[in-house]
Structure 1
Amino acid sequence: MTSNALKPLAIAVLAASTTGLTGCFSSSSSGGDSGSLSLGITDAPVDSLEEVNISFTSITLNHSNGERIEIELNEEQLAEQPIDLLTLQRGNAASLIADEEVPAGEYEWIRLNVVDNQTFPDMYVVKEDNGGTADLAVQSARGLQLSSGFTVPQGGSADFTVDFDLRSAITDPQGQDGYFLRPSLRLVDNSEVGAIEGTVFSNVISNQCNENTSFNGAVYVYEGQNAEPIDYNSKTDKEPLMTAAVEQPESGGELNYRAAFLTEGDYTIGYTCDADDPDADNDLTFTGTRNVTVSANETQTEDFDGSQ
């Protein structure tokens, strides 16, 4: 079990530059103290889909004093989207706004506003089995809203990432057309996060996975030590915090995983090759379950070699 310095985050290059994605806030503010806000997005994997495309229109911030700040994207910036969230895994992130000047102080919530799918058909998924497409709509009337509070320091800067957990966020309702996106999001302070990564050796894969499938399983991450590994549909507060896909690196070698943007603290991890339907109660089999402590700006290495 080793720990090493956290690798720099690989930034997914959007068609638009970071500057191009940055709008200006419009509110009733008459000035006063301010700070800067940077916001990126990242993603955890989902089975059965090759692409999950979303187009953002603006970002809404709700200050604790009741002021509502809108950071809008213009038509030219809209045309350079959508963003495929499935390209933003393993610690990769895309910048939405960078060093945007906003009023300093406490904020109660943040909302990512997306296009109206009936007007701009830029919200869609691509299926893995046949390459077909299907519409994607936001399920909640409040949009993609996070109730996590945060602070923008006076004269300072705040840098956050919104983590989309698509395995629990994407749903395919029976009897209805298209897919829904639930607001399964978490907001993390980039100055307080680390990562867990490691190898899942071939003997573990062969013992757990069906030899007739290309699915190599996933590593589930739970908050706290000695957490009971369960599926996504348990309807309790003990559900997985996130998952990390087990994949073959482009350079070859053993299959591995990387779970990033984890706030420093204690976690439980476990590997499974069972499919997890977020709309059903699944009985998953885990192997190599153990406790891991994450420190800010460090990567903890935890391999699954079949010895646990």
Structure 2
Amino acid sequence: MQRTLFILAAGTLVAACGGSSSDNPAPQTGDVQLSMTDAPADDLTQVQLTLNAVALKPAQGSMIRRDLDEPLVIEDLLALQGAKSTVILPTTEVPAGRYNWIRLYVQSGDGNTYVIDDNGGEFPLYVPGQQNNQNRERHVQLVSGFVVPVDGEVNFTLDVDLRRAITKPTNKDYYLLRPAIRIVDNSKVGIIQGTISDSLIDDETCTSVMEGDTVQGNAVYLYTGRDAQTGDVFVDDQGAAIDSDNPVTTATVNYNSGNDAYEYQIGFVPEGDYTLAFTCQALDDMPDTDDNLAFSAQRNVSVTAEQTEIADLPKEGVIITP
């Protein structure tokens, strides 16, 4: 297993003159690994992200930053949907204890970080402020605490919700990446997957469109709690939910020709109770506005760690008339 070590700027492992090793015990440490997955974005066929560095902020002490030997190029975030992920920080020894946030340093310019839309157009993707100075280092920051246990190891996945995170300013020739990221402990998550009935896909209220061999605009939204109130994605400039009925995450519905079925999968879901809701109007969901989406079916589901829950839609008795 690859293993790296953050070098601390402060402190020493060698006793000072007149002291002893017992006066300066070795710091308590643990191991952390970070991976990345994503929830989908509409109207885009590719999202490339290039990272220069990753930083962690202990609750006590200075920020710990790791500059990557070579920039990490994730050629297509859209390929990391469902239960797929890629490692962005290999197993790394850090001081044990509570941490306040994670930063991802994004490299722009020269085709490093960009999107390709449904029409084949390529546009740079910037962290807000980076569009004014492409060589300026910028980061997205996940403000969500976590703990690294003494002599233990934790594996976290960062879920970049592209439907929340990516926006195109009006009349601009670039996109912006907001810090719409959630962190989950891989030992405490499960998977939800299932099928969507053809009648829901073909409903006359749908605004989905055919792009090549795929239909875009069909999606399953996930909400915390049973019988939750459903709503669209509506976030501020930092990617934070404005309304209480924002989904936790979303999943694209794709046609599987082998099974002759429309299927979805949501990975990295923490243990607990949830509400699933299907909409065929996801193309109308603009993250900067409060949109009135129609959800044509929903059901409850309970998630157990390291288990896959099958949750087909619709389910008898839970069809919702738009």
- Shorter-chain TM range is 0.7 to 0.9
Q: Kindly report which structure 2 residues correspond to 1:1-308, keeping only aligned pairs within 5 A, or say none.
A: 19=2, 24-29=5-10, 30=12, 31-74=26-69, 77-78=70-71, 81-115=73-107, 117-118=108-109, 120-128=110-118, 130-139=119-128, 143-207=139-203, 209-210=206-207, 213=210, 214-215=215-216, 217-233=218-234, 235-249=242-256, 251-274=258-281, 275=283, 276-305=285-314, 307=316, 308=318
Quick one: which amino acid aligns to residue 247 of structure 2? P
Which protein, 1 or 2, shows the higher relative CO under an 8 Å CA cutoff with sep ≥ 6? 1
Correspondence for 2:239: none
Deviations 1:53-72 (Å, cap 9, x if unpaired)? 11011110111112221122
The share of aligned pairs that are identical, in percent, is: 37
Q: 3-state DSSP class of the match of 1:81? A: strand
Query: How many residue pairs end up in the alignment?
Result: 283
Q: Is the CA contact 1:198–1:258 (under 8 Å) kept in the aligned structure 2?
A: yes
- Distance in 2 (alpha carbons) for counterparts of 1:63 and 1:34: 12
Deviations 1:216-258 (Å, cap 9, x if unpaired)? 5000001112211111127213311100100023634201001
In structure 1, the gaps of 5 or more residues are 1-17
Q: Is the CA contact 2:191–2:303 (under 8 Å) kept in the aligned structure 1?
A: yes
In structure 2, the gaps of 5 or more residues are 13-25, 131-137, 236-241
Q: Is the CA contact 1:33–1:103 (under 8 Å) kept in the aligned structure 2?
A: yes
Query: Aligned in 2, Cα 1:136/1:233: closer, same or farther, shift over 3 Å?
Result: same
Quick one: which amino acid aligns to residue 154 of structure 1? V
Quick one: which amino acid aligns to residue 209 of structure 1? C
Deviation at 1:273, TM superposition (A): 0.4
Quick one: which amino acid aligns to residue 135 of structure 1? P
Quick one: which amino acid aligns to residue 245 of structure 1? T
Deviation at 1:81, TM superposition (A): 1.8
- Distance in 2 (alpha carbons) for counterparts of 1:192 and 1:160: 10
TM-score, structure 2 length as denominator? 0.82
Quick one: which amino acid aligns to residue 104 of structure 1? A
TM-score, structure 1 length as denominator? 0.86
- What value does the CA root-mean-square deviation take over the aligned residues? 2.1
Q: 3-state DSSP class of the match of 1:204? A: helix
Q: 3-state DSSP class of the match of 1:143? A: strand
- Distance in 2 (alpha carbons) for counterparts of 1:140 and 1:86: 24
Query: Aligned in 2, Cα 1:140/1:24: closer, same or farther, shift over 3 Å?
Result: farther
Correspondence for 1:15: none
Deviation at 1:291, TM superposition (A): 1.7
Q: Is the CA contact 1:58–1:72 (under 8 Å) kept in the aligned structure 2?
A: yes
Q: 3-state DSSP class of the match of 1:55? A: strand
Correspondence for 2:17: none
Select the structure of larger CA radius of gyration: 2
Q: Is the CA contact 2:225–2:275 (under 8 Å) kept in the aligned structure 1?
A: yes
